[in-house]
Structure 1
Amino acid sequence: MHGQSMHGQSMHGHLSVSDFEKASPTFELFDNGAFQPPHDARPAFCTFEGVLTVDETMMSTDPETLTVPSAFGKDLRLFPAFEIGFLSTDGELIPANQDLTARPGASYWEVIVQPGKVWSENGDGDWSRGSFPFALVSRIDGNTHNGVATFVYRENAISSLRYQIVQQTAPLSLPDKFLASGALKARYRAAPLGNRDELITEFRKFEKMRLRTRPWSDLAELTGSAKIHDFDSDILPEKLVADALLVGETLYVKSAATPAGELPYAGRQRFGVWSITKTAALGVAILRIAQQFDREIFTKRVSDFVAEARAFPGWVDVTFGDAYTMAAGLGYGSDDPQNGAMEPYDGVYLDWYSAQSWSAKMNHMFRNTNLYSWGPGKVVRYRDEEMFFLALGLDAYVKQQLGPDEDIWSYLTREVYNPLEIQVLPTSRTVEQDLKTGVPYMGYGMYPTLEDLAKIAKLYLNEGEWNGNQLLPRDIVRELLAGKEPRGYRTYWSKFPYYYRTFWYAAHQWRGELTYVPCMSGYGGSVVALLPNGVVALRIANSIDATDDVVKMQSFLDVEL
């Protein structure tokens, strides 16, 4: 079976055992189904347990030549080397590490590996097969290149890993979007993993707590196709990565298309969602701290916890609440308060963005930011720097409360994500030369699944309550939800005319009345909307420009089920 890819490439239908050792030196696509168990798959002949190691390998890309082949001294064309333990149980392939990982080398990328499958097929002899989804990520950028890898194996032998990268979210530092394919020379050291029982127990526990995921056709049958036919129809298909609706406790996925068919393991794929991180991570973190420790956290000065800020006028008086709602009174743009919420994303910002250590980022933002005439707490100016400043302050706060070994991301994971039945949620951090764990950016850089985003949105819609536990302050969360009155600060932007506490507010006619709908929004056109009827609308997109099809929100918000 052969088809034609959207990129003009011949697309193959099946990987034979012999194909694993003869990858083409040029880009080639297989149908994504070749990387997953077929309908007639049989159990694997043997378990897979041990350490999988791959070396850096040049990728075959489409386009063949990248406009910029390297960034920050690293090669964009190299698939990263990695070493990860895996074990199989009941047909599932569980990685021991689901965080960003890579062995030192020349590649720009790191990899996030997610659980996959093991099975066997007729015609493979005594070989079993395994596959897993992955995302290439960078600690500097916040996008993902999503793909899948597969291999055949015996008791103590493994083939090369065949892989293909078939989708991505929007790049910022890199001018090119690209697909990739190839074979990775693999080494397999079969041996029991020391934490195998814990890995299996944790995997099974969180798998049981996953949301029900159903195809779009099920929702059409349940509600009538006319009600959902036009959902998210404004955005051009080539800019869409995935979209879905959470209705009740069920996630209905409308689309997760790629040039090689539906995105493999779509429910387990992680996406770079850029500034959605502000609401889904940083906003949740400060609200959890308010609930658990201190309702007055919003009025405290961040500089009381980040001593380095005390020497810089403007920064010294910024409160946690000012930074939380992007109203610090600092920036690089116009001193006209009606000039709009968006700050310039040019040289000064990019220098800060490119700084890799927490101290370099901190020193740059303290020394290169202007003080606006209106001061803090008056006007919104959308800046990642404020979010990073807030992250530094919250990290110092939880260390003060819980000890020097605490970390804001581990705190957030333990206190909120795990109770939400999210096992792991990776994030990018600053890069520190002394091998210390970096500080999470928290203005961008988290890598959730669609289900992770749906659960976090549902927590907000539940007014901070989950399974009978009040994780976030009910009264504060309630005022963030959809309503007839605008809240926060004017943005002078038609798409989202108001901004408040990490949420953008869309002005939408809901059942004949103007309603302000809270949205988490990320670069590229990714949006998570908390609709007035309790439905969550989700879109992952990769648009580089804010074109009309991305700016229009009507079809995305008009879900009156």
Structure 2
Amino acid sequence: MRRSLSSVLCGALLATALVALSAPPSMAAAVPVPGDPLTGSGAVSRTVLTSAQLASGAAPAAPVSNDAFTLPANAAAPAHSFEGTLTLNGVAASGSFTTLKDPYGYASTAALKHLPPFSVQLVQNGSHLVPVARGLQYTGSPYWNLAVGAGRAWTESGDGGQTRASLPFAMIERNANCVHNGVLTFLFTGTSVSNVRYQVVNETCEYFQFDLWGQTTATYAPGGVSGAEAVRAAYATEVSGRLPSKPISALATDHPSAGVDLSAFGGGITPSALSTFGFLFEGVNYVGACPTRQGAYPYCSQMLLPSYSTAKSAFGGLALMRLAQKYGPTIAGELVKDHVTEASGTAWNGVTIDHALDMATGNYSSAGYEVDEAGSTMSSFFLAESYADKMTAALSFPHKASPGSIWTYHTSDTFLATRAMDDALKDRAGSGAEIFAMLRDEVLKPAGVGPDALTTLRTGNSASGAAFGGYGMFWTQDDIAKVAKLLTVDDGVANGAQVLHPGLLDATMQRDPADRGVTTTGSVPFRYNNAFWARDFTSADNAAFTTPFSVPFMSGFGGISVALMPNGSSYYAFSDNNEFAWNSVVVQSNKLAPMASGGGTGSCTAGDLLGNGGFETGTAAPWTASAGVIDNRTSLQPPRTGSWKAWLNGFGTANTETLSQTVSIPAGCADAAFTFWLRIDSAENLANVYDTLTLTATPAGGSAATLAQWSNLDEAGYARKSYPLGAYAGQTVTLKFTGSEDYSLQTSFVIDDAATPAAG
């Protein structure tokens, strides 16, 4: 029998059995977090934030280096386990504050210069301290809300038998999206806790920057945590599910022949204004550091980052694509006034949800580039906290043009669009449905977005209020990379299901030449479609751009950019000095994988040049394949979509299998590309290459060129691959997969949903 169950699973079952036999009893208490346990001796030389200093009641004179809050290299496993509630006492009057930038005079309010009420339930998994509640938490403070991230616990020899803890947290401006990142530390035993030292020395906020620090008493109430074991297990799963991450320097090491200039990444941004950046390429999140005014942030991977207007794309745009996938794309054409009762005037006649997301309602004061956004009406909208006041401001622009004819940027338009989508969802799913909850549960969670990014600002400063839509979400490095991956690499497929409407996604990503959105005003015209920006690139931008292409991007107030390149890479940068510099990264990305046009600037007839790309005919033609490669069994190697796929190898014996198709690339189709989804499953258990899959392209009368090669070391679930074929325009080319296994331990190479799209 081809690929028996025993040949595929025997290695995995044996490994599982060995772990079960060798695991210590404590392992049964919680799923361990990857990287635990700590193995240091605890011999740490410490002169800052010593146990004596944390026991002292003296107020600190200034912030200290973040190194003092960071898990040291020689940390030993924690001697105690924290499970209960930590409450910081007297925060309304404690601490010091230094203003660094404050043009609007916020710091003239003395009460604003302190932490908000701070009480957090925590559980511990190994050396990891995990808050029970993650993401934005409403505190009731007139000025600040709060988010607490997962920290660490460890033992140092100088702490007198106590366990040392450190936690990241973020102060979030009430009714606003500014995030000020901090860190705290304390010592604890099974029943007691020391004073807590804290400091905030970083922010992503263009208009309000400060240092805040202090030391205060705290209370530890052990126990009382409902579902503690589930919280521990969920955090272990969360960490193991993060994208592979490497420092940005590794990009040059991993791709030495590309000649990548690393200075482009994070370049063009004032260093003191940069919070962090990252570049997603071939499934790896190459990340920059997280600098602060006191050195590197101890929890860079968990630094909380504001969305600002990237939420217009990641909330408004994604929500519409999800609704269209569930209920059909005509939902985009439903009228705002039919779903938002307050929009009853004639100004909203004919204005659709799509018009509102495209910033083309025809209702505005000035058509100048973002003039209205900086005006008094939008100021009233941003300052309004109640739903009624926000809605009144959003509807107060006068009617001046036909819907869809003029682009005028208003954050309030996205608020109206999300309100309309919320009502459209309720019409179909019942009054208990809610638009952000749908986005969270049906798009973000399946895409692997973590709990720090699963909350949003709402009206009334309340969890029961209406989601803002146009701003108010939050990101970590991993979370924004996963959203980018969902759009650029996974084609709207999350956890094996199509969660975003393919047609709307293609239009949003500038792959549909018939729907590129509206053209913006301003000195540099952009495209704006479904709440996503896009910029066209040609050889005038760089001589290497021999084929024109378009880069969709998300953009946020102050200096936030998320560029979504058509070669599958993505770049994000979070800063707060009004610097939006990413064009040079496009040049570097093109060195790694030349851009294929997304469809907006192509010159040949649009369509798929490949036949039977999903193998759903149940036969190979027009492919040529080894016997049995076209397969519809799902128990071991499932198709990505439909019932059929191509399954090469997987025997666990020496063999070679092939799959090929000859494609004609019309002249002028310089943006043609070969795309497909690849799943690699292997029972090999050593870090050596034993089994390989090679993709070649052979033009008629020419020699084969290797486009890519994979091995058992590349084991992963379905991932989208794309390779430009513009060099073969005007020719026929044979695309061929060759899979080879050695004499033992199976590796399966599974291909589905192949295509060779050409843009018209």
Q: Same fold by TM (over 0.5)? A: yes
Alignment of 1:241-260 (within 5 A): 241-260=275-294
SS in 1 for 2:427: helix
Deviations 1:364-385 (A, max 9, x none): 222x21112x221112111111
Partner of 1:119: 154
Task: Decide whether aligned partners of structure 1 residues 23 and 286 sit closer, same or farther in structure 2, where only a CA change above 3 A counts.
Answer: farther
2:509 is the alignment partner of 1:481: yes
User: What is the Cα deviation at residue 22 of structure 1?
Assistant: 4.2
Partner of 2:583: 554
Structure 1 residue corresponding to 2:113, chosen from 68, 74, 77: 77
RMSD over aligned Cα atoms: 2.5
2:164 is the alignment partner of 1:136: no
Q: Distance in 2 between matches of 1:356 and 1:555?
A: 39
SS in 1 for 2:416: helix
2:237 is the alignment partner of 1:205: yes
Structure 2 residue corresponding to 1:470, chosen from 488, 492, 498: 498
User: What is the Cα deviation at residue 140 of structure 1?
Assistant: 1.3
Matching residue's letter, 2:281:
V
CA contact 1:287–1:472 (8 Å) conserved in 2: yes
Task: Decide whether aligned partners of structure 1 residues 295 and 73 sit closer, same or farther in structure 2, where only a CA change above 3 A counts.
Answer: farther
Partner of 1:503: 532
User: What is the Cα deviation at residue 260 of structure 1?
Assistant: 1.7
CA contact 1:20–1:151 (8 Å) conserved in 2: yes
Structure 1 residue corresponding to 2:476, chosen from 449, 464, 471: 449
CA contact 1:102–1:111 (8 Å) conserved in 2: yes
Matching residue's letter, 1:418:
K
Partner of 1:6: none
Q: Distance in 2 between matches of 1:74 and 1:137?
A: 17
Bigger shift: residues 96-105 or 344-353? 96-105
2:340 is the alignment partner of 1:321: no
Alignment of 1:42-191 (within 5 A): 42-55=76-89, 56-57=91-92, 58-63=94-99, 70=106, 75-105=111-141, 107-171=142-206, 175-191=207-223
Task: Decide whether aligned partners of structure 1 residues 451 and 318 sit closer, same or farther in structure 2, where only a CA change above 3 A counts.
Answer: same
Bigger shift: residues 176-185 or 444-453? 176-185
Gap regions ≥5 residues in structure 2:
1-45, 539-543, 593-760
SS in 2 for 1:164: strand
CA contact 1:82–1:101 (8 Å) conserved in 2: no
Partner of 2:298: 264
Task: Decide whether aligned partners of structure 1 residues 54 and 482 sit closer, same or farther in structure 2, where only a CA change above 3 A counts.
Answer: same
Deviations 1:272-303 (A, max 9, x none): 12000111122111110110123211111122
Q: Distance in 1 between matches of 2:200 and 2:168?
A: 10
Structure 2 residue corresponding to 1:412, chosen from 439, 452, 456: 439
Partner of 2:49: 15
Structure 2 residue corresponding to 1:285, chosen from 282, 306, 319: 319
Where relative contact order (Cα < 8 A, 6+ residues apart) is larger, the structure is 1
User: What is the Cα deviation at residue 413 of structure 1?
Assistant: 0.9
Gap regions ≥5 residues in structure 1:
1-11
User: What is the Cα deviation at residue 131 of structure 1?
Assistant: 1.3
Partner of 1:529: 563
Partner of 2:398: 370
2:70 is the alignment partner of 1:36: yes
2:409 is the alignment partner of 1:382: yes
User: What is the Cα deviation at residue 474 of structure 1?
Assistant: 1.3
Partner of 1:7: none
Partner of 1:301: 335
User: What is the Cα deviation at residue 45 of structure 1?
Assistant: 0.9
Task: Decide whether aligned partners of structure 1 residues 349 and 13 sit closer, same or farther in structure 2, where only a CA change above 3 A counts.
Answer: farther
CA contact 1:27–1:180 (8 Å) conserved in 2: no
User: What is the Cα deviation at residue 427 of structure 1?
Assistant: 3.8
Q: Distance in 2 between matches of 1:492 and 1:419?
A: 36
Task: Decide whether aligned partners of structure 1 residues 321 and 31 sit closer, same or farther in structure 2, where only a CA change above 3 A counts.
Answer: same
Matching residue's letter, 2:562:
V
Task: Decide whether aligned partners of structure 1 residues 491 and 208 sit closer, same or farther in structure 2, where only a CA change above 3 A counts.
Answer: same
Bigger shift: residues 504-513 or 38-47? 504-513
Q: Distance in 2 between matches of 1:66 and 1:19?
A: 32
User: What is the Cα deviation at residue 102 of structure 1?
Assistant: 4.6
CA contact 1:428–1:446 (8 Å) conserved in 2: yes
User: What is the Cα deviation at residue 190 of structure 1?
Assistant: 0.6
Structure 2 residue corresponding to 1:358, chosen from 387, 392, 404: 387
User: What is the Cα deviation at residue 141 of structure 1?
Assistant: 1.2
What is the TM-score when the length of structure 1 is the normalising length?
A: 0.89
CA contact 1:340–1:493 (8 Å) conserved in 2: yes
Taking every aligned residue pair, what percent have the same amino acid on both sides?
A: 27
Partner of 1:234: 268
User: What is the Cα deviation at residue 437 of structure 1?
Assistant: 0.5
CA contact 1:166–1:263 (8 Å) conserved in 2: no
User: What is the Cα deviation at residue 25 of structure 1?
Assistant: 4.5
Deviations 1:102-122 (A, max 9, x none): 5434x5111101111111112
2:340 is the alignment partner of 1:340: no
Q: Distance in 2 between matches of 1:102 and 1:14?
A: 33
Task: Decide whether aligned partners of structure 1 residues 166 and 71 sit closer, same or farther in structure 2, where only a CA change above 3 A counts.
Answer: closer
Task: Decide whether aligned partners of structure 1 residues 23 and 63 sit closer, same or farther in structure 2, where only a CA change above 3 A counts.
Answer: farther
Matching residue's letter, 2:353:
F
Q: Distance in 2 between matches of 1:488 and 1:206?
A: 36
What is the TM-score when the length of structure 2 is the normalising length?
A: 0.66
User: What is the Cα deviation at residue 342 of structure 1?
Assistant: 5.0
Bigger shift: residues 229-238 or 444-453? 229-238
Task: Decide whether aligned partners of structure 1 residues 74 and 515 sit closer, same or farther in structure 2, where only a CA change above 3 A counts.
Answer: farther
- The number of residues matched between the two structures is 533
Structure 2 residue corresponding to 1:194, chosen from 226, 229, 250: 226
